[in-house]
């Protein structure tokens, strides 16, 4: 017979026995949960049903907040939506998680639950790889995030309890920040920080690019350099470009919808140079694209938008607009000027 089952049967016969209850808690704290343990806990739930104190309720709330954060790390596919997979709603997942965790919290205390879910102070790292996946998730403070290809953000899972909600970003992300006037939200990049209270904005800070850009959809944001010196403030519809080499900031009036269209899988180019186009296509499709020196020096510009087109179709579009030819070998593409006959 399972050791826990013996203890629970004894407790069933003598439900007021405090020593037996301690032995059950001690056993659970020292052993990992398995399917048998879970079944036993659920079947004997009524034994300690009336012992849930305020401390246990606080532990349960904290644990469910972590589960809420983890189940929201949900990638958004940009591929054709014909073959949809069945998914459980977030509400259903949380209900199931609460049902399974409640007996464990009552029996084993917060140490057991925290070891299963990792401690609140651990660093969280969310990454989006090269290709056609955008990660869409919620931070522990309920801030909504879209993370673009070749990007990652880092934060502590209890960051909402600090004076500032700090997030480090490399790459591109769109933030819909949960308003909390007492805890400003700060996005840290390699050369510039962005401070907000509650707003929606996009940040592009890829390490290989010469500039960091941010565009504001609604609200207001304040920009500062890494030494804490204020650079400027943005209003809705404005874009700021920080040039890394010169350390200067340029403010532009632009269309935030065009600049943030990547969230829905759409890329829009308006008089974009070939280097900018190639850089975004490489991240989107995971190809290595090289351009001949002749074509780079010519520096043609492009105005087009893409969403469901594949890389071959886009190469054909570029070739028609530029008088170039594309050679595709595996995951490598070579673009060069057509030789005149």
pLDDT band at 71 (very low <50, low <70, confident <90, very high): very low
Q: Which of 64-68, 126-130, 161-165, 300-304 shows the lowest mean pLDDT across its residues?
A: 64-68
CA 15 to chain centre: 47
Residue % of the chain over a pLDDT of 90:
27
User: Would you say residue 269 has pLDDT above 80?
Assistant: yes
pLDDT band at 213 (very low <50, low <70, confident <90, very high): very high
Instruction: Tally Cβ neighbours within 10 Å of residue 126.
Output: 17
Give pLDDT tens digits for 90-139: 454 444 445 445 444 444 444 444 444 444 456 778 888 776 578 899 99
At 122 the pLDDT is 62
Q: How far apart are CA 134 and CA 74, in angstroms?
A: 9
Pairwise CA distance, residues 205 & 208, whole Å: 9
Task: Write down how long the chain is.
Answer: 341
Q: Is the pLDDT of residue 203 over 80?
A: yes
pLDDT at 29: 60
Write down the mean pLDDT value for the chain.
Answer: 76
pTM: 0.60
Least confident segment among 14-28, 80-94, 210-224, 312-326: 80-94
Distance CA 106, CA 80 (A): 46
Contact between residue 113 and residue 63 where contact means Cβ atoms under 8 Å apart: yes
Closest CA to 318 of 331, 336, 332: 336
> Which domains are present in the chain?
3-77+87-117 (no CATH), 123-259 (2.60.120.1440), 266-337 (3.55.50.30)
């Amino acid at each position: 017979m399972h050791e826990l089952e013996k203890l629970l049967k004894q407790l069933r016969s003598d439900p007021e026995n405090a020593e037996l209850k301690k032995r059950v808690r001690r056993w659970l704290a020292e052993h990992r949960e398995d399917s048998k343990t879970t079944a036993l806990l659920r079947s004997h739930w009524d034994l300690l049903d009336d012992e849930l104190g305020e401390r246990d309720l606080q532990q349960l709330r904290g644990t469910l907040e972590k589960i809420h954060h983890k189940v929201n790390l949900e990638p958004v596919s940009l591929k054709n939506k014909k073959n949809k997979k069945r998914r459980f709603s977030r509400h259903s997942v949380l209900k199931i998680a609460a049902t399974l965790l409640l007996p464990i919290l009552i029996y084993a205390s917060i140490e057991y639950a925290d070891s299963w879910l990792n401690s609140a102070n651990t660093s969280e790292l969310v990454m989006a790889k090269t290709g056609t996946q955008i990660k869409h998730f919620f931070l522990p403070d309920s801030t909504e995030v879209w993370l673009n290809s070749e990007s990652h953000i880092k934060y502590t899972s209890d960051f909402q309890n600090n004076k500032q909600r700090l997030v480090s970003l490399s790459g591109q992300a769109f933030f819909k920040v949960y308003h909390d006037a007492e805890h400003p939200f700060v996005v840290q990049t390699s050369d510039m920080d962005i401070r907000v209270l509650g707003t929606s904005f996009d940040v592009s800070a890829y390490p290989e690019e010469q500039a960091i850009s941010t565009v504001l959809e609604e609200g207001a944001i304040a920009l500062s350099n890494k030494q804490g010196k204020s650079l400027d403030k943005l209003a809705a519809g404005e874009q700021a470009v920080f040039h890394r080499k010169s350390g200067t900031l340029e403010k532009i009036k632009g269309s935030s919808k065009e600049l943030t269209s990547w969230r829905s899988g759409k890329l829009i180019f308006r008089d974009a140079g070939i280097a900018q186009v190639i850089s975004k296509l490489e991240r989107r499709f995971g190809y290595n694209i090289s351009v001949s020196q002749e074509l780079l020096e010519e520096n043609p510009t492009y105005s087009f938008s893409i969403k469901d087109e594949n890389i071959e179709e886009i190469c054909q579009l570029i070739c028609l607009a530029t008088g170039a030819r594309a050679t595709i070998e595996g995951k490598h593409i070579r673009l060069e000027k057509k030789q005149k006959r």
